[in-house]
């Protein structure tokens, strides 16, 4: 009985850990995309000034 309980808790922990990791990855990709767009717009502004 205790083994089943611990196994369930461990599986829940792994699922929660995976979900948190995926959320962090999504946030990272979103920030990276925003940064790339910012660089591109700055590059265009500097190019137009020349």
For 14-42, what is each residue's pLDDT tens digit? 999 999 999 999 999 999 999 999 999 99
Q: Give 44's pLDDT tier (boundaries 50, 70, 90).
A: confident
Tell me which H or E stretch contains 1. Answer: none
Chain CA centroid to CA 11, Å: 22
- Spell out where the chain has E strands: none
Which SS3 state, helix, strand or coil, does residue 50 take? coil
User: What letter would DSSP give residue 3?
Assistant: H
Q: How far apart are CA 22 and CA 27, in angstroms?
A: 9
């Amino acid at each position: 009985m205790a083994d089943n309980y611990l196994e369930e808790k461990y599986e829940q922990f792994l699922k929660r850990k995976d979900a948190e990791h995926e959320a962090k990855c999504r946030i990272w990709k979103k920030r990276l995309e925003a940064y790339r767009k910012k660089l591109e717009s700055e590059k265009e502004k500097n190019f137009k000034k020349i």
